[in-house]
Structure 1
Amino acid sequence: MKTKTVGIVVFLLIVTMQLQAQISGNQVYGNQTNYSGNNYSGNSRTVSVNDNILSVTVKILMNKKADGFSLTLGLNQEAETVNDCNTKINKRIDGFLAKAKSLGIKKDDFYVDFISQTKIYDFSVNENTANQYEKGFEIKKNIIITTSNATNIEKLIDMASEFEIYDVIKVDYFNFDTNTTHYSLFDEALAMADVKKDKYLKAFKKRIIGTPNATEEFSIVFPKTQYSTYQAYESSEIQASYGYRSDAKYLKKIERKNKTFYYNGASLTDFDKVINPNQVEVGIQYILTLTVSYKIDTSI
């Protein structure tokens, strides 16, 4: 019976190891010791006593969907004159924005940002002489569009491509009322800290005196800082042997390897509470850490 029990335990350990390996995914190719802030990790001690002081720490993470998005698109136009440049680039912009109105994009929802106007130079080659000359001008502009509908982002990018606008510079996420979120998390953390404090005092029959001191840290984590990348592939090696009088030569052609990018938000570990832990839509993460210190009565 003992042998059978040991066999079952070993089997369960092997199965557990296999399951852990299966769920890691190809992201292990990009694993490093330092994730450059992608995996938030705080102090794992939540209750500590030092110099007659009871210190209670509560950490809360909230995943929240964005209330709106700001899409920035870039475009440029070349022509022989500045006037021709402006006419052509504005025609593309006006055509795109006119089509974007079908998605409910209003005049107040976009802004055209003038970036630069520069001269363009080229070379003309005559026999062995290359002479540089002024070829024309280039104007660059950015279009900034806000929308509350996430599905509009991809539709706007498709529409922009019809007017040769291909540069998707960035997409920013925002919430309208971060103060309400902040105060809500603070109240939640304060209540949890009070519960921890009461449990400790009851367990060790202690009493606090005076008024507590508190420190708070509130952070907002936006998606643009939380993307990681890796390349998953295995490659062969080429080794050439050169003997005496050998003129062996070879050319090694390296194929392009696909690079994967993925959203890697703040880790859900090491928090006392995670609000909306199963949210699949990429959004904004709010992190609040509250530490409350109480003076313990040592006379009892």
Structure 2
Amino acid sequence: MKHFNLVVIVILLCSNIILAQHKGNYNQITQDISRQNILTAGNAAIYNPTVQQQINKILHPSNVLTVDVKALQNVSATTYTAIFNLSQIGPTAEKTNSLMKQRIDSIKMRLNANGISQKNMAIDVISFVPVYEVEVTKKLFSKTYTEVPKGFKLQQNIHIQFKKTSQFETILEACAKSEVYNLVKVDYFIENIQDVYKNLQDELLKLIEEKKTYYNILGFDLSEYNIAIADDKYCYFPKDFYQSYQAYNSVSFEALKKDKGITSAQKQTSYYYQPLTYESYDVVINPSILEPVVQIGMNIKLIYTPKPKEKKETITKTEIDHKYYVISPNGTIDVKELNTKK
């Protein structure tokens, strides 16, 4: 029996380790949540109020109809451009430029050997300025401070275009071997963005027709409604959606040098890609993504309000008594009534 209990405990511990590995470090931010509270009923109202409000949402009927549809498409980049910054100093302008050229030529040679030609690289000169230092000259009763040329400093950016994300590792290696470590950014480019917008528009029009059919089945004649419209489109790149967090565990290299004692360590800041989530979208094209993508969206909102009813004009007939006068030759007047009733 004791052996059986030991086996059960080992299995439970192993399952917890596996789940922890799959959960990842990001969830460590919830470390302060009491485990007793997790077992309490109604926990969603505390830790996820947005979902709870949506479930218990109260509907308010109205004769104004609203069709609000949203579509999102995840698009992989056609090409990428990585930008690295290089800084070089030297005693003279010629020496500084020569050292910079050697580093760039080394990068080009390594990349060309790995299928990235020189036509996919461009150099952007940022600055080329002299550097001065202050020379102190001591005199009998004073000191003189004079700026004298010390050397030159050259800064350039190298733009490298590639088509596959697998090539980026090769680019990093080539730059590192030339002592280039400053990655400025990576730009994403897609071709024929109008085709993407057209595809989203077609999907939204199909969905709008389905909504209109749905309202017709419910008994609403949309021909008796006035229509107002608003639409929008947008395009987001991965650089806009990187977020940071601090891992729960800390690493201290100083502790490795000491046999005893406690050494405080700074928690490492990590970054992760957090794209737009899908809960507010009616249509999502290419929803499953493996790598950062360009997210293109479109929204269309229609509001149907009842047309005002036409007022019918009512004509009221009034009876008018018509009379006529008969004047005799002797001057007497005789009044007669004219019967106009039919």
Q: Does 1:206 align with 2:220?
A: yes
Give the partner amino acid of 2:188: Y
Q: Does 1:287 align with 2:297?
A: yes
What is aligned with 2:282?
Answer: 272
1:71 maps to 2:82: yes
Kindly tell me: are residues 123 and 155 of structure 1, through their superposed partners in 2, closer, same or farther at Cα, counting changes over 3 Å? same
Who is 1:148 aligned against?
163
Structure 2 residue identity aligned to 1:156: I
Q: Does 1:108 align with 2:91?
A: no
Q: Distance in 2 between matches of 1:66 and 1:53?
A: 42
Measure, in 2, the Cα distance between the counterparts of 1:84 and 1:234. 47
**CA offset digits 1:72-116 (Å, max 9, x no partner):** 011111011111111110121112112211232233311100000
Residue 35 of structure 1 is matched in structure 2 by none
Q: Which piece of structure 1 moves more, 124-133 or 152-161?
A: 124-133
- Quote how far apart the aligned CAs of 1:54 are: 2.4
Gap runs ≥5 in structure 1:
1-19, 32-43, 236-251
5+ long unaligned stretches in structure 2: 1-18, 31-53, 251-261, 310-342
2:203 and 2:283 in contact (8 A); partners too = no
Asked if the contact 2:246–2:270 (Cα under 8 Å) also holds between the matched residues in 1, the reply is yes
Deviation readout 1:110-152 (Å, 9 max, x if unpaired): 1100000122234567899795543111000000011111111
Identity %: 27
Q: Structure 1, residues 253-300: CA drift from partner, whole Å, max 9, x if none?
A: 64221111000111121111222222112111111111123344676x
Q: Quick one: which amino acid aligns to residue 284 of structure 1?
A: V
Partner of 1:39: none
Matches within 5 A, 1:74-223: 74-122=85-133, 133-203=148-218, 205-209=219-223, 212-223=227-238
Amino acid at match of 2:276: A
Equivalent pair of 1:207/1:297 in contact (CA under 8 Å): no
Counterpart residue number, 1:241: none
Distance of aligned partners of 1:197 and 1:144 in 2 relative to their CA distance in 1, 3 Å threshold: same
Aligned counterpart, 2:37:
none
Distance 2:65 2:26 in 1: 41
Cα distance in structure 1, aligned partners of 2:86 and 2:304: 59
Q: What CA RMSD, in Å, does the superposition of the two structures yield over aligned residues?
A: 3.3
Q: Could you tell me which amino acid in structure 2 is paired with residue 263 of structure 1?
A: Y
Aligned residues: 250
Contact 2:226/2:306 (<8 A) preserved: no
Code of the aligned partner of 1:206 = F
Distance across 2 between alignment mates of 1:48 and 1:287:
29
CA contact (8 A) 2:226 2:307 kept: no
Provide the residue aligned with 1:27 in structure 2.
26
Instruction: Please tell me whether the aligned partners of residues 206 and 297 of structure 1 are also in contact (alpha carbons under 8 angstroms).
Output: no
> Compared with structure 1, are the counterparts of its residues 213 and 175 closer, same or farther at alpha carbon in structure 2 (3 Å cutoff)?
same
- Identify if the C-alpha distance between structure 1 residues 30 and 284 changes in structure 2 by more than 3 Å, giving closer, same or farther: farther
Contact 1:71–1:172 (CA<8 Å) still a contact in 2?
yes
